[in-house]
């Protein structure tokens, strides 16, 4: 993409698929905290699960938050 002159790309993803998010982070994609209004907690959970360096601007969620979010999703 850089060779073609692109400097930015947007990939829609769901933070509930944390393995996909980790792959995107490994490839250099970064969530912008100011744009993470609706999924900030998801990125915090991914930070707690992966401790990925690319998520340094996000505070990790604690285990109680992760368990509570999981219960909400499964009903």
3-state secondary structure of 44: helix
- Any residues with CB less than 8 A from the CB of 16 and at least 6 apart, and which? 42, 73
Query: pTM for the full model?
Result: 0.72
What's the burial of 22, exposed, middle or buried (CB within 10 Å: 0-12/13-18/19+)? middle
If one counts the domains in the chain, the total is 1
| Tens-binned pLDDT, residue by residue, of the chain (75 aa) | 889 999 888 887 788 888 888 999 999 888 877 877 778 888 999 999 899 999 998 999 998 888 876 566 555
| Of residues 66, 60, 65, 36, the one with CA closest to residue 48 | 60
Q: Which range of residues forms the domain containing residue 66?
A: 2-74
């Amino acid at each position: 993409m850089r060779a073609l002159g692109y400097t930015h790309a947007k990939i829609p993803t769901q933070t509930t698929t944390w393995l996909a998010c980790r792959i995107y982070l490994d490839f250099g994609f970064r969530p912008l905290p100011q744009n993470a209004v609706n999924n900030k907690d998801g990125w915090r959970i991914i930070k707690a699960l992966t401790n990925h360096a690319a998520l340094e601007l996000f505070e990790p969620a604690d285990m109680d938050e992760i368990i509570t979010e999981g219960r909400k999703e499964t009903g």
